[in-house]
Amino acid sequence: MAAGSRRSRWVWPAFALPGVVWLALLFLLPLYIVLCLAFGTLDPVFRSPVPVWNPLQWDFSQSKYVLTHLVGENGVFGAAIWRTAVFVVVASVGCLAIAYPVAYFVTRFGGRRKGLLLALLIAPFWISYMMRMLAWVNLLQTDGLVNRALSLGGLFPVHVDWLNGRSSTVVFGLVYGYVPYMILPLYAGLDRIDQSLIEAARDLGASRLSTFRKVTLPMSKAAVIASLLLVSLPMVGDYFTNDLLSGSPSTAMFGNLINNAVLDPGQVGQGATFLILMFIVLLPAMAYYVRSTRREEGETV
Amino acid sequence: MTATTAPVRPPLPAPAQPRRSALPFVRWFKNPWRKPRILETVTWVYLTWSLLPVALAVAFSFNSGKSRSVWQGFSLRWYITDPNLSVLHDASLHIALVHTLLLGVVTTAVAVPLGVTFALGLDRWHGRLPGFWNIQMLLSFVVPEIVLGVSLYFLASQFPFNTPMTTGTTGQVIGLVTFQMSYPVIIVRARLLTIGKQFEEAATDLGASRVGALRRVLLPMLFPAIFASAVLVFADVIDDFVIVKYLSSGSDTDSVAVKIYDTARGAPTPALNALASLLLAASIGAILIGYFGYRFLTRGEGKTSLGSFAGQL
């Protein structure tokens, strides 16, 4: 190969260039604009946001307002963030409790029906998230099929208002919405485990449970962590599930805080601060994901 | 040799006999070689739970009455025949459907070539700089969509210069490309890793130019991965809500997902179900094309992995 010829040295950077420019202009620049708005000012007359482009002139009054109103006596924002943490943890664990057994069954015992089972597991991935939520809005209406089923066909009339500010409905919706995204990476991780190791453990006398505990579980740890991340990161930013299944401020999440603030011109600066806050909170998890992906790619980290 | 006294072994304790329970269930449960009935039940219950609600939503789109929970007979009223409210006659509904499919096609057409060249560049360009951009790319993949959506919305609404990045169809496509570009990058890079360098090197040793080797040897080998990522991007775009909503400039640039979000809590008619069902049909069409196309492209390579269509890398 004509190594080191002047032309070929620039071939690969040239290939990467469009992507690099795209990311710089449409990923990094917008994030910088978020900073300029969070540390910008507010037009006193029109109550519209005024971004400050020079970092040396950044104004911290809006972000200070947000930070001082998180907890304590003025703590109006803290509740939603705390609620988000609880919702996301409960829903992620719920997802894992469903996804692990299902993924495990399909990898180990799928047998001849593996193709069919996989197709059915992938199906929700192909159905619009909003449509799946719409399906539950239909079912959970006060005169919906869930209440009618609970009333045993009209014997004991049930009028539970499922869609009005119930935390349980929101968590249920999150689990329903995000489980499919967890099953697939888990399936991939479990499928990679050498079946002969499991058979060896069983042949040497380990019970089902101890084989699972000592062989399968440790070997699937990386997949479990990755799938938990893949599900919980988008859940933290989710606001539409809550809007559709509850619509009440009593179950508002971090995402609702951002969405509501951003759509109100007077609160854009606060919304931008929330966004930065979310980014910082999630940074360790995102960094972990990036690191493990890069390790898989065989790059030096 | 000194005479060693063989240690006297205590007799082995008799192996503990597992107590046989009288209850048939417990006996069955303790049998180490029983069939995994419990796991099987969990799986089928899960599948029913995950798919039945959607099946019911589709079924009620054919309801002849206005209810979304009481069956009043079969009709195509909400698709075609209702003069005002059906998908065919309510402009806001079929515009949303057409707009969604348009976004899907255009975004895929931009994001996939961009992602594939980016993947090739990142893979072969050595040094610190490509590492930095790889991290940015992965970050744009895992960051919650609201962060990307809001920051792009700020770019469209607060940036002091005139750019093509405004709210509306163009802005939506640009935003979606930003979010989706990482799919083809990640998939193609994974494939590059398994292909290795030997085929390209053989081609250049035999006299092909670098670009020639890329075009005639590597690209055909990458084609299944590129194709799979295109199907994935399309499916993901027609589902997208957050970016499309933030960069929408009004009702004529709303997608089906935005339409559902806006009306599901009001008093929707089954026409909304019909709209969602039509999008589902488009999705199924895409996956069938994708699945058989992928099988055709990878024929002779052994098993076709369905997982390729669900972002499983």
Domains and CATH numbers, chain A: 78-257 (1.10.3720.10)
- Decide if pLDDT at B13 tops 90: no
Rounded-to-integer distance, Cα A266 and Cα A275, Å: 16
Q: Residue B20 — pLDDT band, cuts 50, 70, 90? A: low
Residue B45 contacts A, CB cutoff 8 Å: no
With CB atoms and an 8 Å threshold, state whether A120 touches B137: no
- pLDDT over threshold 60, residue B306: no
Residue A255: predicted pLDDT: 93
Q: Is the pLDDT of residue B313 over 70?
A: no
Query: Nearest CA of chain A to the CA of B6: how many Å?
Result: 30
Give the whole-angstrom CA distance, residue A212 versus residue A201. 9
Predicted confidence at residue A2, as pLDDT, reads 45
Residues B239, A129: C-beta atoms closer than 8 Å: yes
Homologous superfamily in CATH for domain B83-310? MetI-like (1.10.3720.10)
Residue B112 has a pLDDT of 96
Measuring CA to CA, how many Å separate B126 from each of A10, A122, A154, B79? 11, 37, 70, 55
Distance from CA of A34 to the nearest CA of B (A): 6
How far away is chain A from the Cα of B75, in angstroms, using its nearest Cα? 19
Percent of chain A with pLDDT over 70: 95
- Segment B244-273 shows an average pLDDT of 90
Give the residue on A whose Cα is nearest the Cα of B283: A126
Please give the span between the terminal C-alpha atoms of chain A, in angstroms, as a whole number: 29
Checking if the pLDDT of B10 tops 70, the result is no
**Average pLDDT score over chain A:** 87
User: Residues A51-77: what's their mean pLDDT?
Assistant: 84
| Cα A108 from Cα A85, distance rounded (Å) | 34
With b for 16 or more beta-carbon neighbours within 10 A and e for fewer, the B87-96 pattern comes to: bbebeebeeb
**Phi, psi (degrees; rounded to nearest 5) at B235:** -65, -40
SS3 state of residue B151: helix
**What is the rounded average pLDDT of the residues A87-110?**
93
Q: How far apart are CA B264 and CA A140, in angstroms?
A: 12
Whole-angstrom distance, CA of residue B305 vs CA of residue B290: 12
Among A25-34, A70-79, B162-171, which range has the highest average pLDDT? Answer: A25-34
Is the model's pLDDT at B236 over the cut of 60? yes
**Cβ–Cβ of A137/B265 closer than 8 Å?**
yes
Instruction: Tell me what pLDDT residue B19 has.
Output: 63
A288 vs A290: CA distance, rounded Å = 6
Taking an 8 Å cut-off on Cβ atoms, the answer to whether A37 and B118 are in contact is: no
Q: Answer positive or negative: Cα dihedral of A84, A86, A88, A94.
A: negative
The answer to whether A197 touches A218, Cβ cutoff 8 Å, is: no
Closest residue in chain A to residue B100, using alpha carbons only: A128
Tell me if A26 and B122 make a contact (CB, 8 A cut-off): no
Cα distances (Å, whole numbers) of residue A276 to A31, A77, B53, B80, B242: 9, 14, 37, 47, 18
Q: Using a CB-CB distance cutoff of 8 angstroms, which residues of chain B are in contact with residue A98?
A: 42, 46
Give me the residue spans of the domains in chain B: 32-78, 83-310
The pLDDT value recorded for residue A86 is 96
C-beta separation of A233 from A257 below 8 A: no
Q: CA–CA separation, B252 vs A156, rounded Å?
A: 46
Q: Which residue of A has its CA nearest to B51?
A: A124
Specify the pLDDT at position A132. Answer: 94
Give the mean pLDDT of B217-228.
Answer: 88
Minimal CA separation from A243 to chain B, in Å: 8
For residue B34, pLDDT over 50 is answered with: yes
B177 — contact with chain A (CB < 8 Å)?
yes
Judge: B57–A49 Cβ closer than 8 Å, yes or no.
no
Find the mean pLDDT for residues B235-261: 92
Query: Phi and psi at residue A50, in whole multiples of 5°?
Result: -120, 105
Site of tokens 């101890």: A210
As for the ipTM of the complex, it is 0.88
Judge residue B168's burial from the number of C-beta atoms within 10 Å of its C-beta, 0-12 exposed, 13-18 middle, 19 or more buried: middle
State the nearest Cα–Cα gap between B2 and chain A, in angstroms. Answer: 38
pLDDT digits (tens, 9 = 90+) for B164-220: 888 999 999 999 999 999 999 998 988 888 888 888 889 888 988 878 888 888 888
Query: For position A274, what pLDDT does the model report?
Result: 93
What is the per-residue pLDDT across B279-294, written as a single tens digit (0 to 9) for each? 999 988 888 888 888 8
Q: For residue A54, give both structure tokens.
A: 């020079």
Spell A107-143 as b/e; 16+ CB within 10 A means b: bbebeeeeeebbebbbbbbbbbbbbbbbbbbbbbbee
For chain A positions 13-72, those within 8 Å of chain B (CB to CB) are 13-20, 22-23, 26-31, 33-34, 37, 49, 51, 53
CA dist B104 and B112 (Å) reads 12
For residue A234, name the pLDDT band (cuts at 50, 70, 90): very high
